[in-house]
Chain A
Amino acid sequence: GQSLEQPSEVTAVEGAIVQINCTYQTSGFYGLSWYQQHDGGAPTFLSYNALDGLEETGRFSSFLSRSDSYGYLLLQELQMKDSASYFCAFRSNRDDKIIFGKGTRLHILP
Chain B
Amino acid sequence: EAQVTQNPRYLITVTGKKLTVTCSQNMNHEYMSWYRQDPGLGLRQIYYSMNVEVTDKGDVPEGYKVSRKEKRNFPLILESPSPNQTSLYFCASSTNVAQETQYFGPGTRLLVL
Contact = CB atoms under 8 A, between A and B. Distances in A.
A98 B45 contact: yes
Interface majority SS (helix, strand, loop, mixed), chain A: strand
A91 to B, nearest CB: 6
B102 A98 contact: yes
A42 B101 contact: no
Nearest to A100: B43
B98 interface: yes
Interface residues of B, number: 26
Contacts of B50: 96
Nearest to A95: B56
Contacts of B24: none
A98 B48 contact: yes
Interface stretch (A13-21, A43-51, A63-71, A75-83): A43-51
A89 B50 CA distance: 18
B104 A44 contact: yes
Contacts, number: 63
Contacts of B102: 33, 35, 43, 45, 98
Given A45-B101, A48-B99, A100 B42 contact: yes
Interface in A48-105: 48, 50, 87, 89, 91, 95-103
Interface of A: 8, 30-31, 33, 35, 41-45, 48, 50, 87, 89, 91, 95-103
26 contacts: A8-B40, A30-B98, A30-B99, A30-B100, A31-B99, A35-B102, A42-B90, A42-B107, A43-B43, A43-B90, A43-B92, A43-B104, A44-B104, A45-B103, A48-B101, A50-B98, A87-B42, A87-B43, A89-B43, A95-B56, A96-B31, A97-B45, A97-B58, A97-B59, A98-B100, A102-B42
Interface of B: 31, 33, 35, 40-45, 48, 50, 56, 58-59, 90, 92, 98-107
